Amino acid sequence: MQNNINSLIEEIRIISSDLPDINIMEVCGTHTMAIGRNGLRQLLPRNINLVSGPGCPVCVTPVSDIDNVIKLSGNRNNYIFTFGDMLKVPGSKSTLYKKRSEGANIKICYSPLDALDFAEKNHDINVIFIAIGFETTAPLTASLLKKAADIGTDNFYIYNTHKLVPPAIEFLLNANNKSKINAFLCPGHVCAVTGSKPYNFISEKFGKSAVVSGFQADDIVKSILMILRQIKNNHPAVEIQYDRVVKENGNPTALNFIKEVFNVGSAYWRGIGEIPGSGLELNDKFKNFDIKIKYGFRQIQVQEPKYCSCGLILQGEKKPFECKLFGKSCTPDKPVGPCMVSSEGTCAAYFKYEKYKI
């Protein structure tokens, strides 16, 4: 693989030698981690700049959602099931991790089916699964709710935070933000479900280049080379490098699951704001599983921590080491902002692999 990467890097050096500065946004947090782990930023020519985007679902979960789940955990009759990444995400005053240490019924699960199974065995309590993620995990939530409906479970709920990636990219392009994005590495996991077609607006509407990339080092480097060839030839398009997994039309079965359970609506992205058409809401057939409706929760804006730059980092306008808190008062052990919490968070990736840039 290393010889292949070296060859690709040499091609990149040649093709980019007479190009201006190029800003490529890797949308997915898994790409950010892979780029840092493999030292790819240091291998690229100076005029090729990789910036991170909003593709970390934990990072864009609003403060008020964390606060609402914390409120739910205060009821001893509620059992919260969550993936581990959510535990340390800061709310306005506390975290799920702290509440769990204080005795709240908060359980880490590795499969949402664990939560449904627990609900079936304990009919006298409310079981709430924090449904988080983009199009990658939405089909799993949909199939879970279909199963819960089929067996008639009446004590199982989800706290729904599912979001859609393409509207967020379009929002950034419409905002004409300071990162001046020239091209995108599109998320391979998401596109395995959606296909590449939902991203065609990047080239057709905005004239930008995009490649759906895999997650190995050579996948990413090859995808960057594909982008540069598009730019060099002035032929923006949405190409698939990750063709061993991603097809143009996606996964019809997974898409049908999403369509059967969810409607599209607006969603609030932490550090960014309201993005129309970027959220998945339970439709009328399944809304009785929505704990937000049961408790009447509403989305409210909460002040972000002072000096935290997560919002600008998620939009590609800042690098983590440009944040005043990075590596000082904000570390993975004591995170201030969500980008330092998640295993897909940009700040967590930079702290682990690139903190020498402070």
pLDDT in tens, 165-218: 999 999 999 986 666 899 999 999 999 999 999 999 999 999 999 999 999 999
Whether residues 286 and 154 share a domain: the answer is: yes
Whether residues 72 and 149 share a domain: the answer is: yes
216: domain CATH number is: 3.40.50.11750
Neighbours of 148 (CB within 10 A): 24
Number of domains in the chain: 3
Whether residues 336 and 226 share a domain: the answer is: no
Kindly state the DSSP code that residue 85 receives in the 8-state scheme: G
pLDDT in tens, 295-351: 988 777 777 888 999 999 999 999 999 999 999 999 998 999 999 998 889 999 999
Whether residues 314 and 201 share a domain: the answer is: no
Quote the CA–CA distance of 186 and 172 in Å, as a whole number. 14
> What are 274's strand-pairing partners?
268
Domain presence at residue 324:
yes
Kindly state the DSSP code that residue 213 receives in the 8-state scheme: E
Kindly state the DSSP code that residue 33 receives in the 8-state scheme: H
Domain presence at residue 300:
no
Domain presence at residue 56:
no
Per-residue pLDDT at 177: 61
Whether residues 90 and 142 share a domain: the answer is: yes
Helices (H), 243-307: 252-261, 291-295
Neighbours of 96 (CB within 10 A): 23
Task: Give the predicted TM-score (pTM) of the model.
Answer: 0.93
Whether residues 182 and 43 share a domain: the answer is: yes
Domain presence at residue 260:
yes
pLDDT in tens, 144-175: 999 999 999 999 999 999 999 999 999 999 98
Domain presence at residue 148:
yes
Domain presence at residue 185:
yes
b/e map of 106-141 (b: 16 or more CB within 10 Å)? beebeebeebbebbeeeeebbbbbbbbbbbbbbbbb
Whether residues 195 and 256 share a domain: the answer is: no
Q: What percent of the chain has pLDDT over 70?
A: 97
Q: Which amino acid is at 34?
A: A
**Reduced to 3 states, what is the DSSP secondary structure of residue 219?**
helix
Mean pLDDT rounded to a whole number for the chain: 94
67: domain CATH number is: 3.40.50.11740
> What are 128's strand-pairing partners?
80, 157
Whether residues 33 and 74 share a domain: the answer is: no
Whether residues 153 and 79 share a domain: the answer is: yes
CA angle at 273 for the pair 270 and 279, rounded to the nearest 5°: 80
Per-residue pLDDT at 125: 97
Domain presence at residue 57:
no
pLDDT in tens, 109-149: 989 999 999 999 999 999 999 999 999 999 999 999 999 99
Domain that residue 151 falls in:
63-164+252-295
In this structure, the chain runs to a length of: 358
Whether residues 69 and 6 share a domain: the answer is: no
Per-residue pLDDT at 3: 64
Q: Which of 69-78, 123-132, 289-298 has the lowest mean pLDDT?
A: 289-298
Domain presence at residue 55:
no
Quote the CA–CA distance of 129 and 70 in Å, as a whole number. 13
Whether residues 19 and 134 share a domain: the answer is: no
Whether residues 159 and 230 share a domain: the answer is: no
